[in-house]
Amino acid sequence: MELIDRTAIEIVGALDQGDARCVDLAEHWIARTEASSALNCWVEFDAQAFRREAALADQRRTRGERLTLLGLPVALKDNIDALGFACGNGTGALHGRHPRADAELVRRLRAAGAIIPGKLGLHELAFGATTNNAVTGAVRNPWDTSRVPGGSSGGSGAAVAARLVPAAIGTDTGGSVRVPSALCGVAGLRPSVGRVSGDGLAPISATRDTAGPLARCVADLALFDGVLTGDMAPLPPVSLSGLRLGLPEAYFWEDLDDGVRACCDAALATMRAAGVQCVPVELPGLAQLDGEVSFVVALHEFVRDMSRYLREKSRGIDFAELLAGVRSPDVAAITGALLGQGAVPEAAYRQALAARKRLQALYADAFARADVAALVFPTTPSTAPKIGEDESFLVNGRACPTFATLIRNTDPGSNAALPGLSLPIGLSGGLPVGLALDGPAGSDRRLLAIGAAIEAVLPPMPAAPVAAAAS
């Protein structure tokens, strides 16, 4: 296995020990990016700047400097402001427009020594789960290039799975980090809302948005969580023997693709053999509460929060111009009437916030009653649909709505502001399957520790075929 195929922690360790040079690794990543151009992961990739920054990182190391991520490339979803690159948010009116400052999380990455080689594709305005984008083109899944990578952080999932970078930062409103993690076979973390600064991120909803890392293993997720939040405390020790995890069979385990169910059942059997106790958990009325919160909060806050972002970050357009530049039909159908009769009334928004409090109470009560450390369930009910199946796709021979199906299991925890984790657990029909863990509010580091313990007993995930071919 080449060093660029290893984890972020292993790569930094090799650099620290003097066993590798940043400039040499950069050339390998650049070559692989060029060989994998058909995936369309990148909106912008600056090979020359990558080379320059890699050379500077080597010089800093020669002088004895050591930083957490010194010389490590970390790619950004193209809704995160970063100097040196445009920030298009996947949409026509912002495409090619440069921000005036780094997002706060980018400042933290750079301060830790990370190199930003480019920006990754997303579903337009982050309003979707396929990353079939009419402005920048469809991003393709490295496991099967006829399939979607998930979304909205589809470029992030595909780039990490294809080993174009060891890690990427995405954003997650209703599943946009965890869905592509699951469909591309990588690990992904949705932090608790507010844990990672949202300054400099093109928003949908301040109540629901959060940035989070995608990487090859949970230890890498914990590393990036520490850099992004400043919480560098070691993960607490977790033994699987006697660990109680909640199994919310109603809703989360219903209507699954047969292959997804088989993979998830096998993972649970492995976990039980290692001592995990899977405890039935009930969340009565969950689907109704989630429906009362989800789109009402997102669409109301999108008008407010995006207008503020465009104005305060001096992006050069207003909200009406943003909407006029939308080209993807599915996104236009959602956003087209937000300045007119389709706007969410204030009263409806207030009702949705009240429902959100009830949803949070429902989760808190379920964790307490069952005395469980996290809930466990399939990240997505199916493996990746084909590109072009934007409206519906077949799950066990039945047509299902694409967006609603892909985010079905990730959306409720998002609306409750819970931390969420997706782990790759194997393949069904040659396509990746993810297993999700949602923890109590604020339990991010413990959730990562639980994920790392589970990861250690599961079979390792193989490399995607595109990554193997590019080598």
Active-site residue among 176, 328, 414, 422? 176
CB count in 10 Å sphere of residue 340 = 7
User: Helix, strand, or coil here: 29?
Assistant: helix
- Contacts of 396 by beta carbon, 8 Å cutoff, 6+ apart: 257, 258
The DSSP code sequence of 128-152 is -SS-EETTTEE--BTTBTTB---SS
| Residues 50 and 11: beta-carbon distance below 8 Å | no
User: Helix, strand, or coil here: 263?
Assistant: helix
Please report the sign of the dihedral spanned by the C-alpha atoms of residue 277, residue 423, residue 185, residue 405: positive
In whole angstroms, what is the distance from residue 327 CA to residue 135 CA?
6
The candidate with the shortest Cα–Cα distance to 93, out of 124, 54, 62, is 124
Q: Per DSSP, what are the bridge partners of residue 261?
A: none
Q: What are phi and psi of 415, to 5 degrees?
A: -65, -25
Q: What are phi and psi of 374, to 5 degrees?
A: -165, 165
| Residues 326 and 92: beta-carbon distance below 8 Å | yes
Please report the sign of the dihedral spanned by the C-alpha atoms of residue 395, residue 399, residue 402, residue 407: negative
In whole angstroms, what is the distance from residue 52 CA to residue 72 CA?
13
Annotated active-site residue 176? The verdict is yes
Distances (CA, A) of 201 to 37, 80, 197, 210, 296: 26, 5, 9, 9, 21
Active-site residue among 36, 152, 192, 422? 152
Annotated active-site residue 152? The verdict is yes
Active-site residue among 77, 119, 153, 156? 77
| Residues 298 and 196: beta-carbon distance below 8 Å | no
In whole angstroms, what is the distance from residue 182 CA to residue 179 CA?
5
Joined together, the tokens standing for residue 381 give: 């009910």
Active site amino acids: 77, 152, 176
